[in-house]
């Protein structure tokens, strides 16, 4: 009888493992292949060789670029080199990426930047918020941008138990923001186990100096976050669930879900056109190729544009699609005055004229 019970349990575990494996592969879009969608006026940005995981553009056309992310389980082309923040002036005829100097006293050696967000104060001061993973921990760094010196002055480091695995940020003021925790765990093994088991433990947190609280939860792998031009709605990308959640923002900073947009790709970071309200997403068409990197079969890149997301039938357009021969692992797409920047987790960045 004991042997029969052991066999039965083994069979049940094998069946559960097989079911989870199939579901995991489905979530990663492991069988998807891309049909190319080309843009005619594009070139790789010189000087960016180790990723441009997130990009944020000021209203005057200055683009901040987060580069050099080292993340558990993902490829890095320079694992021993600190991360950097680049600046591009998209008003220039031939814009180039310039590394910003960071003030003394900040630990540059362990700088590992992830998602970023800018905020312009009433006195026109520009603050840059950076999700950072020094020594594979999670912090939010707040900088002040000094344009005349092409530099960032480090103001503070924020750590909190409710910010264990910060992926992206949307700044709401000089000292408060929403942040996404893409996993409950930050250890690479536990992180993969969390994804494999399909645990919906990732969340969104509101932070201010006087209050820190969870404002949305139950996500599979929450990633990019941004806010509508009128500040009434917050957009949240659930990467592995292939969804964008539209959340209504309330006076006490809490969020309630308004709608969900289902997609057929793994959408990473979100940017919002301040003039049209259109949402642009850098996407991973096949997540399996991203997680299990093979230089002979690299991850592709995809950019989508979402118009009228609050309507009954939003329009989703595939703007760019490429199999990895040019751009590997796109994570963000931002537009400014007819120009498009596409960044990646660990590869290059692309500049296009639309």
Binding residues: 53-54, 116, 167-168, 223, 268-269
Report the candidate in 71, 213, 59 with the shortest Cα–Cα distance to residue 138: 71
Tokens representing 33 are 């292949």
Query: In whole angstroms, how far apart are CA 164 and each of 57, 204, 219?
Result: 27, 11, 15
Known active-site residue 114: yes
Other beta carbons within 10 angstroms of residue 234's beta carbon come to: 24
* Rg of the chain, C-alpha, whole Å: 20
- Check if the beta carbon of residue 140 is closer than 8 Å to that of residue 132: yes
Residues annotated within a binding site for Ca(2+):
53-54, 116, 167-168, 223, 268-269
Residues with Cβ within 8 Å of residue 80, at least 6 apart in sequence: none
H/E run at residue 213: strand 212-219
- Check if the beta carbon of residue 217 is closer than 8 Å to that of residue 204: yes
Which burial class, exposed, middle or buried, applies to 201 when counting CB atoms under 10 A from its CB (0-12, 13-18, 19+)?
A: middle
Q: How far is it, in rounded angstroms, from Cα 29 to Cα 287? A: 6
Given the residues 43, 114, 284, 347, the one annotated as active site: 114
Query: In whole angstroms, how far apart are CA 14 and each of 10, 20, 99, 160, 197?
Result: 6, 10, 51, 39, 14
Q: Is 61 left (phi over 0), alpha (psi -120 to 50) or beta?
A: left
Report the candidate in 142, 145, 133, 150 with the shortest Cα–Cα distance to residue 97: 150
3-state secondary structure of 23: helix
Q: End-to-end distance of the chain based on CA atoms, in angstroms?
A: 70
Active site residues: 114
């Amino acid at each position: 009888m004991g042997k029969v019970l052991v066999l039965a349990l083994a069979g049940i575990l094998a069946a559960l493992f097989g079911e989870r494996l199939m579901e995991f592969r489905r979530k990663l879009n492991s069988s998807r292949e891309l049909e190319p969608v080309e843009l005619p006026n594009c070139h790789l940005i010189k000087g960016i060789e180790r990723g441009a995981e997130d990009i944020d553009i000021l209203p005057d056309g200055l683009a901040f670029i987060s580069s050099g992310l080292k993340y558990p389980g993902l490829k890095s082309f320079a694992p021993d080199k600190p991360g950097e923040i680049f600046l591009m002036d998209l008003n220039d005829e031939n814009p180039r990426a310039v590394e910003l100097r960071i003030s003394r006293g900040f630990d540059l050696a362990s700088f590992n930047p992830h998602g970023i967000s800018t905020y312009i104060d009433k006195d026109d001061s520009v603050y840059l918020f950076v999700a950072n993973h020094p020594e594979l921990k999670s912090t939010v760094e707040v900088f002040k941008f000094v344009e005349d010196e092409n530099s960032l002055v480090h103001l503070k480091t924020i750590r909190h138990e409710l910010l264990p695995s910060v992926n992206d940020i949307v700044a709401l003021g000089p000292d408060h923001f929403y942040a996404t925790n893409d996993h409950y765990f930050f250890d690479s093994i536990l992180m993969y186990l969390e994804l494999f088991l399909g645990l919906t433990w990732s969340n969104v947190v509101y932070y201010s100096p006087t209050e820190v609280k969870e404002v949305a939860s139950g996500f599979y792998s929450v990633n990019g976050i941004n806010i509508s031009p009128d500040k009434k709605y917050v957009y949240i990308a659930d990467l592995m669930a292939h969804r964008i959640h539209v959340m209504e923002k309330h006076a006490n900073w809490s969020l309630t879900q308004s709608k969900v947009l289902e997609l057929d790709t793994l959408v990473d970071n979100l940017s919002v056109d301040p003039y049209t309200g259109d949402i642009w997403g850098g996407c991973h068409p096949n997540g399996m190729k991203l997680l299990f990197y093979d230089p002979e079969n690299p991850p592709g890149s995809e950019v989508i544009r979402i118009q009228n997301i609050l309507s009954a039938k939003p329009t989703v357009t595939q703007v760019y699609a490429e199999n990895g021969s040019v751009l590997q692992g796109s994570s963000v797409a931002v537009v400014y005055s007819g120009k498009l920047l596409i960044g990646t987790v660990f590869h290059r960045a692309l500049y296009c004229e639309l």
